Amino acid sequence: MFSRTALSAVAGQALRPRRNPLLSPRFAVLQKSFLSTETRQAIDKAVASAPVVLFMKGTPETPQCGFSRASIQILGLQGVDPTKFTAFNVLEDEELRAGIKEYSEWPTIPQLYVDKEFIGGTDILMSMHQDGSLAKLLEEKDILIPAESDSSSSS
């Protein structure tokens, strides 16, 4: 990869920032939402269907990509209560697969929602898992498997 200085020397002129033509009002139609009302409503309903919702490739039992597998593993390591979790296989519905990316404004799958709030993809989950913020969030939302009380340990 060339540095900006090397490129400007090669070109024989200073590099000037270019305006993105897609940001001009002339191209506003390109920024229009392609997500249908029906798909948006279906995604709204899906996001609200459980405290933890994962849009993934495949199913929790048989993930169809490494990122989906990693997301499921992270949620398992965190101790997410299975009764408070659901997953949607975007490979079963092309409209969902494209629609969820526009809905969240996030370009990749899997995508995690906690309490109807978009959290992020696998990279965000991994970072939150490593820094402890995912555990804190899941605990605050009461989404973890309840700890068993040990009634036999009395003095």
Q: Domains in the chain, start-ordered, CATH in brackets? A: 35-140 (3.40.30.10)
CB atoms within 10 A of CB 153: 6
Query: The whole model's pTM is what?
Result: 0.74
For 123, phi then psi, to 5°, come to -65, -40
Average pLDDT on 77-96 reads 95
Whether the pLDDT of residue 147 is over 80: the answer is no
Mean pLDDT of all residues belonging to the chain = 82
Tell which residue, 137, 7, 135, 120, has the closest CA to residue 67.
120
Residue 64 has pLDDT above 50, yes or no: yes
Alpha-helical runs (H) found in 35-132: 37-47, 66-78, 94-104, 122-131
Higher pLDDT, 134 or 19: 134
Ramachandran angles phi, psi of 87, nearest 5° = -130, 150
Q: Which comes out higher in pLDDT, residue 20 or 3?
A: 20
Instruction: Using a pLDDT cut of 70, give the percent of the chain over it.
Output: 74
Q: In a 3-state reduction of DSSP, which class is residue 119?
A: strand
DSSP H helix total and E strand total for the chain: 6, 4
Write the CA distances from 151 to 46, 145, 154, integer angstroms: 39, 18, 7
Check whether 28 has a pLDDT greater than 80: no
| Burial bucket for residue 70 (CB in 10 Å: 0-12, 13-18, 19+) | middle
- pLDDT for the residue 47: 97
Residue 95, burial from CB neighbour count under 10 angstroms (0-12, 13-18, 19+): middle
